[in-house]
Amino acid sequence: MANFYTDNPDLKHHLNHPLMRKIVELKERNFADADKYDYAPYDFDDAMDSYDRVLEIVGDICGGVIADNAESVDHQGPRVENGRVIYADGTKENLDVCRKAGLMGMSMPRRFGGLNFPITPYIMAADIVSRADTGFENLWGLQDCAETIYEFANEDQKKRYISRVCKGETMSMDLTEPDAGSDLQSVMLKATEQPDGTWRLNGVKRFITNGDSDIHLVLARSEDGTKDGRGLSMFIYDKNDGGVTVRRIENKMGIKGSPTCELVFKNAKAELCGNRRLGLIKYVMALMNGARLGIAAQSVGVSEIAYREALAYAKDRKQFGKAIIEFPAVAEMLSVMKAKLDASRSLLYETSRFVDIYKIYDDIAKERPLSPEERKEAKFYSKLADALTPLVKGMGSEYCNQNAYDCIQIHGGSGFMKDYACERIYRDARITSIYEGTTQLQVVAAIRHVTTGTYLSLIRQYEAQEVRPELAGIKARLVEMTKLYENAVEKVTSVKESDYNDLMARRLVEMAGNIIMSYLLLMDANRNESFTRSATIYNNLAEAEVTKHADFIAKFNPEEVALYMNV
């Protein structure tokens, strides 16, 4: 039985990033829990050893139970009976084994029964789970919602709900409605306050992942007569209270094990989470950022399995008297798949480290005032996390789709049949660039970091780092690519015409992403020679992409925008 953590040394490389020391020391408050909890670490090495051991459990379960069940779960899928979701048998087993292994509530504080892991090892677990079964990653990964309760609910709610999540109860975030998808300001589900301070929810939610979960976060309109996002609040609905039924589950193209539900709320009792009116503008934004990082991890997991399946097939399949991997056309596809996989994974963990630092500072700020220096640092990392999250979600999900496509291509005619895992991977991959904000919306979130220079300042920091002499060539090319990027940004921003700016936005964001990921792989190679191959191959790819976009932008006549808009 394979272990999906130990069979992939790249993961340990990312886990052991130098910035982890700072993250762990902040997260553990200089190991203050060591005397209070028998499972708390007493120093940095002990904490890192714990992450390593727990990820080994994740890898073991994923390589055994969850990967084994993936096919049957895809075929059987969940069903609805009397308004309740019945999971596929394999899903039930997966959840059971994850609960027994204590892998729920991984990032929650110990006082609620969590493991108090930083986001980075938690995201690594998500990466591994997604490789085993992309659809199951949703059910398992929705424990993320506990983060929102932890950040915004009151202490009593945290005690009641987070401890349940840590024991293995599942969660969902009920945001989307038939007329409120990407545009959540239009949410209509009505929340009415009762004399006892509780609320009643009425209305319909649609496309709710794991919609029959134990604990729901629900976005609802609490302010009568309002029409925009400022009239929305966040609520916690406890399934034990009743009032929500599942009307149907969608028949999807992929991630079929993950039930996507239409929910009917009929006077469902709920509690307010946090303050009124902040539901969308503050809490959902926070929730979405966490969820987007989760989808980025899911995408990297898909890229990983797509690459592995393609590689195994290409080694095994013989044509014209030799394994097809020996043909340059196939070898190139595999090399580029691996480079995209490695690039998106490096960006994933760079992002998760930035998220870790600012979130931990936010948490510390609840205990004591931060020093001016700490405040400055928190702000610095918060901005970077904000900039990199849409980048890794957008580009990581596109890369996993490309890898899934190439995985089928390498399988040839067999890949088009239902006989190989690649067809499931292809279907599962497709949603990653759609949900939690389409790639196009990630561009909208990312473009301001192009125009305000967040990406460029990050690139400058990377540029300032020394690399080994044999990597100097890649770095020199990156410096030139950055110049192309700067020129392109200058040209686009110098024209104040919003349709033109929007039309160019994707290219600018991708250029930034290409350069950042190429730098990250360069630094990975600087720390670990095994990344040199991907750093080189990705640099070739990134340079070609950046040049292509630069060329397009340089030659594009802004007056032609009308042609594009006249569809």
Residues designated as active site: 436
- Decide if residue 57 touches other proteins (CB under 8 A): yes
Among 12, 22, 72, 102, binds other proteins (CB under 8 A): 102
Q: SS3 of 237, please?
A: strand
Nearest distance, CB of residue 18 and other proteins, angstroms? 23
- Decide if residue 211 touches other proteins (CB under 8 A): no
- Residues 488 and 456: their CA atoms lie apart, in Å, by 12
For residue 536, how many other CB atoms are within 10 A of its CB? Answer: 19
Nearest distance, CB of residue 50 and other proteins, angstroms? 5
Report phi then psi at 200, rounded to 5.
-125, 135
Nearest distance, CB of residue 161 and other proteins, angstroms? 19
Among 11, 67, 106, 128, binds other proteins (CB under 8 A): 106
- Residues 203 and 250: their CA atoms lie apart, in Å, by 18
**Residue 428 structure tokens:** 């599962």
- Residues 90 and 408: their CA atoms lie apart, in Å, by 25
Nearer to other proteins, 41 or 396 (CB): 41
Nearest distance, CB of residue 42 and other proteins, angstroms? 7
Q: Which of these ranges, 99-107, 381-389, 426-434, 528-536, lies near other proteins under the rule CB under 8 A? A: 99-107
- Decide if residue 120 touches other proteins (CB under 8 A): no
- Decide if residue 444 touches other proteins (CB under 8 A): no
Q: Which of these ranges, 3-11, 96-104, 239-247, 320-328, lies near other proteins under the rule CB under 8 A? A: 96-104
- Decide if residue 85 touches other proteins (CB under 8 A): no
Nearer to other proteins, 110 or 533 (CB): 110
Nearer to other proteins, 66 or 384 (CB): 66
Nearest distance, CB of residue 376 and other proteins, angstroms? 34
- Decide if residue 101 touches other proteins (CB under 8 A): yes
Nearer to other proteins, 103 or 422 (CB): 103
Nearest distance, CB of residue 354 and other proteins, angstroms? 25
- Residues 343 and 10: their CA atoms lie apart, in Å, by 12
Contact between residue 104 and residue 125 where contact means Cβ atoms under 8 Å apart: no
Nearest distance, CB of residue 143 and other proteins, angstroms? 13
- Decide if residue 89 touches other proteins (CB under 8 A): no
Total chain residues near other proteins (CB under 8 A): 19
* Dihedral sign computed on CA atoms, order 364, 366, 371, 376: positive
Among 23, 24, 61, 471, binds other proteins (CB under 8 A): 61
Contact between residue 511 and residue 484 where contact means Cβ atoms under 8 Å apart: yes
Nearest distance, CB of residue 213 and other proteins, angstroms? 21
- Decide if residue 524 touches other proteins (CB under 8 A): no
Nearest distance, CB of residue 102 and other proteins, angstroms? 4
- Decide if residue 103 touches other proteins (CB under 8 A): yes
Contact between residue 218 and residue 235 where contact means Cβ atoms under 8 Å apart: yes
Nearer to other proteins, 114 or 437 (CB): 114
Nearer to other proteins, 41 or 415 (CB): 41
- Decide if residue 7 touches other proteins (CB under 8 A): no
* Dihedral sign computed on CA atoms, order 27, 31, 37, 39: positive
- Decide if residue 60 touches other proteins (CB under 8 A): yes
Helix, strand, coil tally for the chain in percent (to 5): 65, 10, 25
- Decide if residue 79 touches other proteins (CB under 8 A): no
Nearest distance, CB of residue 374 and other proteins, angstroms? 28
For residue 408, how many other CB atoms are within 10 A of its CB? Answer: 19
Nearer to other proteins, 41 or 279 (CB): 41
Contact between residue 400 and residue 380 where contact means Cβ atoms under 8 Å apart: no
Nearer to other proteins, 113 or 558 (CB): 113
**Residue 189 structure tokens:** 């589900």
- Decide if residue 19 touches other proteins (CB under 8 A): no
Report phi then psi at 154, rounded to 5.
-80, 170
Among 70, 80, 97, 489, binds other proteins (CB under 8 A): 97
Q: Which of these ranges, 57-65, 398-406, 500-508, 524-532, lies near other proteins under the rule CB under 8 A? A: 57-65
Nearer to other proteins, 39 or 552 (CB): 39
C-alpha neighbours within 13 Å on the C-beta side of residue 276: 12
Footprint on residues 184-203 left by other proteins (CB under 8 A) = none
- Residues 555 and 548: their CA atoms lie apart, in Å, by 11
Residue 402, classified by CB atoms within 10 Å of its CB into exposed (0-12), middle (13-18) or buried (19+), is middle
Structure-derived torsion over alpha carbons of residues 257, 258, 259, 265, reported in degrees to the nearest 10: 160
- Decide if residue 115 touches other proteins (CB under 8 A): yes
Structure-derived torsion over alpha carbons of residues 277, 385, 45, 49, reported in degrees to the nearest 10: 80
Closest among 42, 50, 41, 43 to 15, alpha carbons compared:
50
Q: Residue 510: in which H helix or E strand, if any?
A: helix 498-527
Footprint on residues 27-56 left by other proteins (CB under 8 A) = 38-42, 49-50, 53-54
- Residues 168 and 170: their CA atoms lie apart, in Å, by 6
Closest among 192, 382, 154 to 269, alpha carbons compared:
192
- Decide if residue 388 touches other proteins (CB under 8 A): no
Nearer to other proteins, 114 or 211 (CB): 114
Closest among 40, 60, 38, 36 to 49, alpha carbons compared:
40
C-alpha neighbours within 13 Å on the C-beta side of residue 53: 11
Sites of contact with other proteins (CB under 8 A):
38-42, 49-50, 53-54, 57, 60-61, 97, 100-103, 106, 115
